[in-house]
Structure formats: structure tokens, C-alpha cells
Structure 1
């Protein structure tokens, strides 16, 4: 027994030595293991020294090989396969994807890094700084050491701007009040560059199309006082005359059928159409002229500005009709201070067909595949409309859980017609960079749950989608219709209805006629931020207008449309996410969801498809999908044949997850989830399900760990989770942390949940 332990220890030591990266370092070479940087204490603040050190650490090159607990697996894999003769294959993948070449001390240029350090601190106003560079050898490893003395940081004593009477100088003087160059602030070359960029951007908004930030010069005089500088903003002497001029828009030309391979402007006879301020030149009438008038925001006589320039280009792109968009401005031949605008547009192929196979998971803890066939017709009615018809078929199975074996088969189709503008009796318009869309949709889905039942669902909607900017998005369905009916109900399911009558509502006919609205705000697309957020709020109203017209006010005797009672309710749901980024590889992601649905008038309860559920792969992962609640009700005791979907009128859910990169495409996570659902009213079938002031004592809590395999085209997620608190247990026994025992097979079977999913949970 002891010999086996010794062998294992020897193997572990050998592996660690192999992973240390020094085993195959040739004689005379040293493995570079990183650097130390010391910023000596002076008159500057601790915060300043810390900031300087952080920036310099990022600038020093090269970066050493990545290490985990002193081991360098990248070098191990690099050395493992030896010489690789092919540019592809398994050996190439191991050596150059899993592995990385050792970084040697010979690759480190100490003198160059010293200059980088000196240059950086001088650019931050430490003109008298001193820097040193050296290295230390430790066996077969070496480390670089850098020291820097900052001394005094120079501050801005005064800032002056051009004083002559030219138009350009006057415009620059109008911008000085919001200058980022402030008297008393430290000298900083980056701030000076930012000021030049700011002025150039502002001048572009004031018609100076040909101006460039390189035409501005900021002179520095460091002789005026002790550790102070004067900044003098000047216009360079060699600025071209046209860069000093302010321009307005004259003619606007549009070429909607421009071909990049051959200049269709010169080789084909064109037809010219004048519409409003536009001149549209085409070989045939491919697009109706009004679409360009709604998309392009410049009018004749407008002062040129960069914002309108970019907004117009972005709107052309978001029409979804053009493959390439090219734009240029030229000085008008007869009016020197006027620009002619030219837009060269290359259309996408009018008709196309696309076949795609998807891997997916859903909130019910089902995983599966789906095949989609999409046919698109762009510019359907010559107004850049998009007609898209899709057909799909899919299979979903539950990998683990009580629904294992109750597979779901789905097929159906959908037709969407999208107009790139508001279709409305009211005068609605948008001046954002994103063209607003009006969307009409019709869809049908047939869903077969083997051994249970099948559902047929028809959906129709008409509404609007528009974005204020890249962060804010709105969706309004003025009319939203859904009709669901069932058939092929099995004897098994009927027998379960006898034991649990609430299952009947799953297969009842449902008719929804209402309005939905959602608002989304996110800045998650912004990188290099400590904090990113996402918010989505939605309102779902159904049956109110119809209920008012038909006098529906008794849910026990509901009014019907075509023999089916219509649903009447109001539903509100909000989701907030916060991402705290420790660095590019580690973040803390948190989410809270609040939801409430209130039936009234013609309904005593929400339609099943509109109710709230909790638990599963993207919810509280320590519990099976849709198995929690409502309240302290235990749905697991209802039946052993299959797990019914527990639903509620109210929802509270919270999750927090620490995510970090482990190695290459592998990421890890540690998480805690909590939440529950509740009913608004008492239920004889579900005792303890009603919402009360004790709701915080009725929360389910779970924790776990997981791996995420990021293959770029998809993220495969695996999680192991276990409950910390079970709300359905008696008071005083709900926390089950003390019962956690990973070594007990019985505990694992009952409590340890494995989740397999596609994508991140949030």
C-alpha cells in the first residue's frame, strides 16, 4: 500500500517538474518568469504611485508563460509532442493551441523596457523621473527588476487658445469652456491628445469636414515656474485652406444598384429620379425613392456634421437590404463652401434560402436539436421590406430528471413581414442610427409530448421594434393573438389529472388577445469597464379592451370568442443583471428577476403559458426544472410518474456567479441561486402556495460549481449543484447545509444535480 503511495507521489513530482517549464531549457538559456516593479515613495500620493505601477506592469514586454501553482502546463504541452511537421492535425493542435513556447530571458530587452517606463512617466508629467533595469537569476529561471523614482509631477499653470479673427479660431475659442485641459491639473500627454480629439470632433459637428486633429498643436512651456507648465493651443501654419472652411450640404446623389466589381455609374445608362432633396440614379427602379428620404437625414442647405453623416450610414446598413454601403463628399464645383454627398449602395441578393441546425436547451431542462429552413425575400415591395418564411422541426429530451423518457417533438412554421419604418395612422418617426421596424407575424407550432399529450398553437402579432441607440431598445406589439388547443391526451395524463386537477389547465384551450411592450437597456457591449449592466422590463396586457366591450367581470362564468373563453390579465416582469469585471478573465455576474401576473375580469388564473416557473439549467440549478414551489408546496410528492410543471403568479429569483478562465477555452464558475414562485390566492390542491409576508423564509437556495467550454461557435456548459435550503421542509429544518455529504451515495442521488446546457445561464 505504501509503495503505491510513493509511486503516486513520485509521479506527481515528475509531473510538476515537467510542468515547471525548465526541463528542456538548453544550457545558457533561462526561463523568464516575470518582473518586479518598484515605484519609490516620494511626494506623490499613494494612489498616484499605485496607478503608475498598474499601467507600467501592463506595458512591460514580453509577458511570461502562464502558470498555475508554479506549474506551466502550456510549456509542458509544447514540449510533449516534440517536432511538428504539419500545419494541422492533433499534434499541431496540442503544441500550438494547448501549448505555448517557453519565454526565455534572451527575449527580454531590459533597455527597451526601461525606455518604455521612462517615456510613460514623462508623459504623465514626471519630467525629472529616473528609471533602472536589472535581472536576477534563480537556477534555470530569471526575473527582471525595474525601479523608478518619480520626483515631482508638473502641473498646468495656464492654457491659451488662438486669438486671431479667422472663422476657425473663433470656433475653437467657443470650445474652450469645456476643455479637458484644466489649470491646476497634472500635465498628461494623454489628456492633451484627448483634447485635440475632442476639438476635432466638435469642429466636425460645425461643418469643418476637412479638418483633422493633426492640424492642432499644443506647445508646452516648462520654464514659466517651478514644476508648472503653460499650454498653448495653436493651429499649425501649414493647414490646407479647405480645412479652414465651414461646409453645407448641396446635392445628394444616391446610386442604389452600385456594383463593386464594375463601376456601373460609367458603364451603364442610368435613369435619374428627383425626389425631395435627393437625386436617385439607377439603371432601373429597384427601390421606391421615399425609402431613401426616410433613411438619409441630411437636407439640402444643412450644415455638415459628423453625427448626421454617421447616423445616415448606419441607417442604410440597418435597412438589411444592402451588402455594401459606400459614401463620399465632394466640394461642389460652383459653390466652394458646399459639399455634394454621394451614396453608393450594393444590394444583397434579393432571394435566398438558408438551412441551419441548432443545439439548444430550454427552461424545462430539456436539451435537443432543431433544423430550420429559412426563405427570405428582400425588398419585397420595393420599399426595403423583408419577407421571411421559416419551417422548423426539432427533438428535445431531458438528459437527467424525472421527465426522462417524455421526449418532446416539435414542428411548425412562421411568416414575418418587416417594414423598415413605422406603419401607423399617426405621424411616427425616428432620428436614431437604427431604422425603426414594423413587424407582422404569423406562426403555427405542433408540439408532441410523448406518452402525455400534444398541443397546437397559433400566434399572430403586429407591432414595432425600434432602438434609440445601441443601448436602448423598445418592442411594442399593438396586437398579440395566441390560440392553443390540445389533442391526443393519453390515459396516463388523464390519470394524473385525477390526482392533480391543476394539470388540466395545461391542456385547456387558451385564447389570448392583448398588447405587449418591453424595454431593454444594456451596456454589456462596452469592453474594458469594471461594471456592466443589463435591464429588461416587460408588460403583458390581455383581454382588457374585449372584456370592456363584452362586459366580462365574472371569471366563474367567462365570456367566449368562437366558443373559447378569452384570458384577461396584467403581467409585469423585470430582469436586472450586473457584471463586475475584476479583469479580462474573471468576473462576478449577478441577476435578479421579479415577476407578477394578476388575472381578473374574465379569468380566475393566468393562462398556463403565461405563468411563472423556476428551477432548472438557467434558473435555480440545484433543483429540477420547474420543480420548486409554489411557496412551500412540494410538487415532488404529487406523482411518481412524471414531474408536473409547478407554476405561479409571482416570482422572485436571484443568482450570483463567479466566472474565471482556467485554461485556454475552459472556464470555471462557482455560483449561488435562490428564489421561489407563489400563487396570489389559496389553493386546496397546493397548500402553502399563497404569497405572504413570510416569503423570504420560503426561498429555495442552491449552490454549485461548473465548467464552460467556449468553442467560439457555442458555449457548452456543465454544472453540478446541490440544495442549501429546501422551502418545502418544516420550519427550522429548511436549511440543509449540515446534511451535505458528497461521500454518501444516497445523498448524491437525492441532492446532486447535473446540468448540461448550451450558453451561459445569464
Structure 2
């Protein structure tokens, strides 16, 4: 049977035709001369076996042109440029006898010259060359240099007798070829014996105590990387064992081989030599023996001036716990605060790790500029004086942030955020910050403009006060023994409030936090919020149906069956007819509340379906308009093995657990709380009680040439109990959005297999998986292909709809899948992201229609975000 492929959309036909013309006009061999070959592939063979190791592949100097999904985009952009636009313009200008004269009369001589330099004539070609890529024509000089690199690499792995060669594999396609690099390895050299010669007795003693952990072992194959790692290991050990000025260049290795042995014997001897030859700070060469240095004196200068003036003259001195503190006029810091930030101790040996910890801790106090550390030795070269110079930051500083925004709530918004920071408030490096917030916005919501016709009719304001203490503050407990000061311990106390007008239900929020965080190293971080209290007061709950318009439309649709005043006279006052429609609508709020009450109370007889739908809407309204009191404790653990900003092969893990309401529940046995409808109330508000946990794992794979594969998995669940039968809205989960499943808008996916039309769909269980392939396109423009899977469900709460609840393994069939592509522009410090998501598998559809039902541009979702989604 013959099938015809038709495109009925005229714009799609034009786009396809244009794309075909562009492809046809791009000839990859356009700039490849007759006697040249375009490089299309590099292959490395070691002893006849293909090598796919990325580190070895990176040794190749000349690589094929980059491709975008297999298409050489940058090469073809380069080929579109004119090679000599100046000559082309001159040829065009003089092609007709009087063309130049006419242009001069029309534009002037000067303008004709500028025309030749214009973007359309010359600039376009230069731009295409800059963003494009010239053809990778095989250059045998680069090929030979690659062979040298490969030979050196395999020699570093012990294959000292390797031989390298290459072959140019001419492909069947015209003027294209690949290069095959072939290496014959031979037998690797093995380490037979290890001996050492160490000039310093002190170094010799330390070495023998730590040589069992050496990277270099007898009987193993020679590998230069192990020697480099061993030098770094030994240098670190010596510098952390009191030898402050030990230099890595003092460590040398000599390789020896017995020439009397047979040629097949590839054994070698390794001689470790550690001498005393080194360079001092003044570039003088010295051979004095390395010695262990101990601190005899530690000076702390709290008023150091960057130009060095006043370093010692006129300073007052105070001795504290082995430290000599120098200051002028008045000491503005508690001696203990300074001592806790210094990890050198009098009469202790020098350790490099303590130097790093001192830098880190002083910087973390945020009351000093970057510190300066200097060391002096006495005549015996063993007594050490540490001089720590500190420059205080200004005690007070002011700041102001201004932001312009746009959202689905406001057409335009202006945010002002003034701040005041006071440093070293109580002489213990305590920092206090006071931040105010004022947001004004414009909304065209008719329910708002009817009573407020000003342009800026949205208002939100608030303030936060935060106090940070550079230690773990807990009454009657010496936390220093549990969490050492090198972990950068910090206590946070905060109070905040905000008020809204014409935004949602006009929430008023009050919150307070007592929390601790500490960072043992760059890879691990702990955060404990001992007390996290949040109170949410909905000032205008009667605006619920104005805000949640989809819910109102659903209720009004049900009410259409009951708007006949003759059949239902008791409901007549709940409806009104607008000027532009004859269809009666429920009045907000009196009509909506009256109608739902009449249906639920049975005042008006209704069908079971209408009763269930109205009851569900009313339960949702009650839940989203009720005030919340959350009295919680939580702990978060973060682990990250990323090594620098350029590392694209790492993983991140985050675990959080939160418990709410337990303290108040315990107090209820001592203090009788007021009870209403089975709930215990504090300040006339039922407090929330639940336990919540989250697991978040992210993994990156570096695919070379700036290509990265990123994966994220997330699992979160919040279980209500005791005083609650559901989770507060602010602690629930939602699906969709620019950082989640990008084929759905925020809050529009789920719960489960339902196709809810609520404005904000949320639940208390969430699963999410994201996979993204990132690649360069042109210059700072990056591309991405992604697949997002996940959903939300209700579990262990008041929801009993089986389509919304998680019912075991079978509910995994409700996981939605969205796929798509994105374009990003990298501004170095941040990245703007535009993603287009397509609904690939939609669990809200019938089972037979779930795959690719809405997989088209008409039903795609455009997401805009800042930086990567994970």
C-alpha cells in the first residue's frame, strides 16, 4: 500500500523549503582545494586494538570539524562567508562602466567607501568566519606532532620501546579522509627495586613512617602519574609535619636498568633522592638541612594598614592563650574570637593544613579583608614566629537592590530592597543585617481594577533581620568539642515578616529561624534548623474564587444545572447575570459559599456526582484559605565532589529531613490547648504536624569538547499525622516548570493520572528524573536535548481519589515524560535559558492515547530560566 506524505501547513512548507535551500547551498568541500583532504575521523590503535580512552584521544592535535547532531553547522557557516569581500565589492563596483559614478553622485565618495566596509558587504562575511569554523584539512605536520605526543604518553606508562606510525585512510566519498594512528607498544617496564637517599635525617625519619602508603610499589608497571602523585603526597606530608619550607623540587627519581640483563627483561630500579637544595624567598639557593619548625611566638595585628604604616609603632599589646594581640587605641574584638580563628598554637609544629584553615576561617568571619600571613625563623632555623595581619572591614555598610520583573500575576513589577549591615556587633564577629522589601506591580485582574484603578495596584512589603554568630551557640553545651572551629560553624538567628495587598489572598507571613550550619571541608556541608517557625495568615479568604479562576469555572459549571429560579427559588439570590451575557453566574463570595453549603447540607437535592465535586471543591477551598502555623525542625546534608568551576565530571547529593508540630504536641500534655473540630489550636490556628524527607542526586559526565551529560533524580514525601490530615500548601510538592518537567507549566501536572484544571495542583509525594545532553552550538550559544520524567501523588493524607493517590508499583505508570530541546546564551557569570518541552507521555490521557498525543508545536510549552535547571 502506498502512502503519501503531505504537509498542509503553508508556513511549514515555506520553512521546509528554506531549510532545504540552506542545506543545498552549504557544500562542506567548498573551501577544500583539489589536492587537499577534509579530515572526517581520527582512530587510534594500540597493538591492533582500537583505543577509546578520552585522555588519549585528547592528545590528537587536529580533529574533524565540530558537528551539531551530526551536521557540520560551523563549517557550513564559514563556507557561506566570502573569502575576499573587498575584491568582490570592487568587482561588483566596476562591473558596469558608470556604476561607481552613479553611486558617488547619490551617496558621495566617502559613503561609497563606507559601503564597502559595511556589515552587508564585509561585516557579514567576517561575522560568519568568526562564528564558523574553517575546514579541517589534513595537515601532516600536525599528524607527526600527534605521533610524538602518543609516543611520550605511552612512554610515561612504561612502554619505553613503543613505535608509532600513521596511515591516511582515503574514504569512498570525494576529498575526504580519516587518519589512523597505530602504536606498537612492546613490553612494559616493571619496577623491580626501590631505594632511597635522603639528605635530611628529619625528612628521612618522616618518610619511613609514611612510605607504606606510597603510590610507587615494587612489582607494578611504571606509570609517571604515580611518581607525580607520590611527589605531591610526600610534599604534603612533610609540610604538615613541621617542615614549612619544604619544596617539591627537592624530590627526584632516578631510573636504572641493568644492561647486563637480556633484552626481554623489562625490570627497572627506582632511586628516590630527597636533597636539601631549594630556593629561598629572595631567590637565593640554599642547601641547609630541612628542619622541623615550632611556633615560638604568634602575633596578631588587628589594625594592619595595607601600606604597612603603623604595623608596630604605637601598638598596644595583650597576651591571650599563647597569642600576642597588637592593637591601636582600643581592641574592637574579643581575644577569644581572634584566637578561635587562628589554628597555629604556641610550641606546636607548623602544619600547612592549619595555614589553609586560618585563611578560611578569618575570611568566613566577614569582618576582615583577606588576611596576610608571614613567617620568620630564628637563628637556629627551628623557632618560628607567625605574623598575622588583619585589616578590618567598615563597621556599617548600606546597600540597595532594584529589580524589574514580569510574571503571570503582574504585568510589570518593581522591587526595592534597601539593606544595612552592622559588623562585629558584640566584639565577637557577630554580623547583623537588616533588609527591607518593597514590591509594587501592575495587574489587569478585573476583580482588582474594579476597586483599585491605579496602575500600580499590587503591593508587597516586608523586612528581615538576621544575626550570624561565627560559632555554634547553644546554652550550657561546649559545642567546640563536637564541631571544631575549622568546620566554619555558624549560628543564624532571623526574624521576618511580609504583607501583601491585591496579591492572591493577601497573605501576611511571620517567620523566625534558629539554625546552625558548618562545613568540615569543601565537599560536605551540614545545616540544622533547630527552630523554624512560620505563620501564614490569609487576610482575604473571600477572594479565593477570584484568585483560583479555574476552580470557580468548575463550580459555576456545576451550578448551571441549578440556576433556574422557578425550580430552585432558595438559590436565586446566589446568581447574577452580567451585562454581556444572559447566562447567570455565581456571585463571589456570597453565591459560591451559599451554593456549596446548600449542596453539602442537602438543602438542595443533587446528583451524587455533583455532591462529590462540590464537596471536593469546598475541601480544597478550606485547605488553601486556612491559616497555617508551622513549628518545625529540619536537618540538611549536602555532599559535592566538584573540583573547581571547570570540572564537568562530578556528583552532588542532598538529603533533608523535617519534622513539624512535635514540640507543640508534647506541650499540649502540659498546657491545655484550645480544641476545635478535633484539632488543637495555638493562637486560634491549628498547628501543622508532619514528617518530611527529600533525596536529591545529580551526576555529570564530561563527554569532551564542551559536551556534558547531566542527570538528576529526586524523591520527596511528606506524611501528615496527629493534628493534621494534609500538608500545608507551602510545604507541598508541585510538578512542571522550567526546573522540573518542562513539557508542563508549573503546577499543571498531576496529581497522578488526573487532568486537574486547578490553578495550583499540589500533593505530598514527588518523583522526578531529568536527563540533559548539553553541547556547544556557536560561540557563547549552547544547545541542549532533554528528557524529563516524574509526577506528584497524594499518599497517607485526606485525599481518597484513587487517580490522585499513590497505590504502589502500578502508580509508576502515571509518571509523565516530557522531551524537548533548548538554547542557552552564556554570559560567563550567568546563563539565560530557553527550553521548548513536548508532552511525550501524558498519564492524564486514556491509556491508548498517552504516547505522543500532544507531541506538536501547538501543544508545546516554552520555559525561560536563569542558569541550568540542575
TM range (shorter): 0.7 to 0.9
2:469 to 419, 422, 425: 419
TM-score of the pair, normalised by structure 1? 0.84
Output the CA distance in 2 between the equivalents of 1:55 and 1:611.
45
Q: Structure 1 pair 395/471, CA: closer, same or farther in 2 (3 Å)?
A: farther
Q: What residue is the counterpart of 2:793 in the other structure?
A: 677
Deviation at residue 233 of structure 1 after TM alignment: 0.6
Deviation at residue 367 of structure 1 after TM alignment: 10
Q: What residue is the counterpart of 2:784 in the other structure?
A: 668
Output the CA distance in 2 between the equivalents of 1:407 and 1:719.
32
Question: 1:196-345 counterparts in 2 under 5 A?
Answer: 196-223=231-258, 225=261, 226-236=265-275, 238=277, 240=286, 242-265=288-311, 268-284=313-329, 285-333=331-379, 336-345=381-390
Q: What residue is the counterpart of 1:571 in the other structure?
A: 692
Output the CA distance in 2 between the equivalents of 1:567 and 1:421.
31
Deviation at residue 459 of structure 1 after TM alignment: 0.9
Output the CA distance in 1 between the equivalents of 2:288 and 2:403.
55
Q: Secondary structure at the match of 2:61?
A: coil
Q: 1:575-630 CA deviation, whole Å, 9 max, x = no partner?
A: 22222333353333222222222223333322221222222222222223212333
Asked whether the 8 Å contact 1:682–1:690 carries over to 2, the reply is no
Q: What residue is the counterpart of 1:696 in the other structure?
A: 812
Deviation at residue 39 of structure 1 after TM alignment: 3.8
User: Which piece of structure 1 moves more, 437-446 or 280-289?
Assistant: 280-289
Deviation at residue 35 of structure 1 after TM alignment: 7.5
Output the CA distance in 2 between the equivalents of 1:258 and 1:178.
43
Gap runs ≥5 in structure 1: 400-404, 637-642, 743-747
Output the CA distance in 2 between the equivalents of 1:237 and 1:54.
39
Deviation at residue 474 of structure 1 after TM alignment: 1.4
Are residues 1:150 and 2:194 paired? no
Output the CA distance in 2 between the equivalents of 1:133 and 1:726.
53
Q: 1:285-339 CA deviation, whole Å, 9 max, x = no partner?
A: 2322211211112211112111122111111122222222211221135x54121
2:683 to 559, 562, 581: 562
Are residues 1:726 and 2:842 paired? yes
Deviation at residue 221 of structure 1 after TM alignment: 0.5
Asked whether the 8 Å contact 2:318–2:325 carries over to 1, the reply is yes
Q: What residue is the counterpart of 1:471 in the other structure?
A: 523
Q: What residue is the counterpart of 1:634 in the other structure?
A: 755
Q: Secondary structure at the match of 1:514?
A: strand
Deviation at residue 100 of structure 1 after TM alignment: 5.7
Per residue, is there more strand in 1 or in 2? 1
Deviation at residue 12 of structure 1 after TM alignment: 2.8
Q: What residue is the counterpart of 1:167 in the other structure?
A: 202
Question: Max radius of gyration: which structure?
Answer: 2
Asked whether the 8 Å contact 2:198–2:274 carries over to 1, the reply is no
Deviation at residue 136 of structure 1 after TM alignment: 9.2
1:651 to 757, 766, 771: 766
Are residues 1:487 and 2:487 paired? no
Q: What residue is the counterpart of 1:116 in the other structure?
A: 149
2:418 to 362, 365, 373: 373
Q: Structure 1 pair 395/152, CA: closer, same or farther in 2 (3 Å)?
A: farther
Asked whether the 8 Å contact 1:61–1:108 carries over to 2, the reply is no
**1 or 2 for the larger relative contact order (CA 8 Å, sep ≥6)?**
1
Asked whether the 8 Å contact 2:460–2:501 carries over to 1, the reply is yes
Asked whether the 8 Å contact 1:394–1:410 carries over to 2, the reply is yes
Q: What residue is the counterpart of 2:493 in the other structure?
A: 440
Q: Structure 1 pair 590/57, CA: closer, same or farther in 2 (3 Å)?
A: closer
Q: What residue is the counterpart of 2:557 in the other structure?
A: none
Asked whether the 8 Å contact 2:132–2:778 carries over to 1, the reply is no
Are residues 1:461 and 2:513 paired? yes
TM-score of the pair, normalised by structure 2? 0.74
Q: 1:198-244 CA deviation, whole Å, 9 max, x = no partner?
A: 11111112111121121122110023642121001112364645552
Deviation at residue 105 of structure 1 after TM alignment: 6.8
Considering only aligned residues, what root-mean-square deviation do their CA atoms show, in Å? 4.1
Q: Secondary structure at the match of 2:371?
A: strand
Q: Structure 1 pair 614/136, CA: closer, same or farther in 2 (3 Å)?
A: closer
Q: What residue is the counterpart of 2:743 in the other structure?
A: 622
Output the CA distance in 1 between the equivalents of 2:188 and 2:692.
59
2:162 to 117, 129, 138: 129
Q: Structure 1 pair 172/592, CA: closer, same or farther in 2 (3 Å)?
A: same
Deviation at residue 91 of structure 1 after TM alignment: 7.4
Q: What residue is the counterpart of 1:755 in the other structure?
A: 863
Output the CA distance in 1 between the equivalents of 2:294 and 2:239.
12
Q: What residue is the counterpart of 1:192 in the other structure?
A: 227
Output the CA distance in 1 between the equivalents of 2:257 and 2:38.
40
Q: Structure 1 pair 117/599, CA: closer, same or farther in 2 (3 Å)?
A: closer
Q: Structure 1 pair 412/302, CA: closer, same or farther in 2 (3 Å)?
A: same
Deviation at residue 245 of structure 1 after TM alignment: 0.6
Q: Structure 1 pair 672/604, CA: closer, same or farther in 2 (3 Å)?
A: closer
Deviation at residue 634 of structure 1 after TM alignment: 3.5
Q: What residue is the counterpart of 1:16 in the other structure?
A: 26
Deviation at residue 278 of structure 1 after TM alignment: 1.0
Q: 1:463-512 CA deviation, whole Å, 9 max, x = no partner?
A: 21111211211111222221111224436355577552212322322222
Q: 1:498-549 CA deviation, whole Å, 9 max, x = no partner?
A: 5522123223222222322211122244578785222222222222122222
Asked whether the 8 Å contact 1:67–1:73 carries over to 2, the reply is no
Q: Secondary structure at the match of 1:59?
A: coil
1:523 to 637, 641, 663: 641
Q: Structure 1 pair 738/700, CA: closer, same or farther in 2 (3 Å)?
A: closer
Q: Secondary structure at the match of 2:760?
A: coil
User: Which piece of structure 1 moves more, 459-468 or 617-626?
Assistant: 617-626
Asked whether the 8 Å contact 1:361–1:758 carries over to 2, the reply is no
Q: What residue is the counterpart of 1:716 in the other structure?
A: 832
Q: Structure 1 pair 85/457, CA: closer, same or farther in 2 (3 Å)?
A: farther
Deviation at residue 114 of structure 1 after TM alignment: 4.4
Output the CA distance in 2 between the equivalents of 1:65 and 1:738.
35
Output the CA distance in 1 between the equivalents of 2:20 and 2:371.
65
Asked whether the 8 Å contact 1:680–1:691 carries over to 2, the reply is no
